Amino acid sequence: LNLWKIALNDAFLHPITGWGLDSFRNVGEFKKFMYMKNGYTNVVFKAQYDKPSGRFLLPPGIFQDPPRPNENVDPWDNPHNEYLSLFYEFGIVGVIILLALIVDIKKRFFSNELLYPFIGFFIALLIVSIGQFPFHVARIGCLIPIMLGAYYRITDDTEKLN
């Protein structure tokens, strides 16, 4: 939750278009920091990237003096929340596109009883997205356009019959 709070605050710095595709895990010309956490205390912070040295500069006070044994810093490559990730990378534009897609899926739902497994898939995907990132995992993400395509194919055929 600490990471979500910090990342959401940063997402509001670019609310319309976001930081860009895959910007959460990468540093670039506009985003010169990466989210990290102290592996011992679980404190989340932003580490600034120093291009000349090729290192991340940690803010003061991250480590206890002297450091605890086995205390380390873990980088966050994903916020583990698909909605936050969508807003962070694509801004309100991406959120509006997702909401429009959900509204269209819901509108087509009652056209055919063959759609119940698809709706179960989409609902499970929406719930899992709260704490994970299924669109960013290839073994799961590849199923989404396939299921969506099949869903639209079935609903298009049903709408033509009506």
> For the chain, which ranges sit under pLDDT 70?
67, 111, 157-162
Of 162, 160, 158, 161, give the one whose Cα is nearest residue 115.
158
Predicted pLDDT at 70: 74
Q: In what order do the strands lie in the sheet with 55-57?
A: 55-57, 44-50, 33-38, 73-75
**Above pLDDT 70, what percent of the chain?**
94
User: For residue 4, which of 122, 117, 120, 130 has the smallest C-alpha distance?
Assistant: 130
φ/ψ of residue 97, rounded to 5 = -65, -45
Cα–Cα distance for residue pair 107/114, rounded to 1 Å: 15
Q: What is the structure's pLDDT at 160?
A: 57
In the chain, what's the furthest Cα-to-Cα distance? 73
For 115, the token pair is 């759609």
Q: At 82, list the tokens.
A: 């698909």
Element (DSSP H or E) covering residue 33: strand 33-38
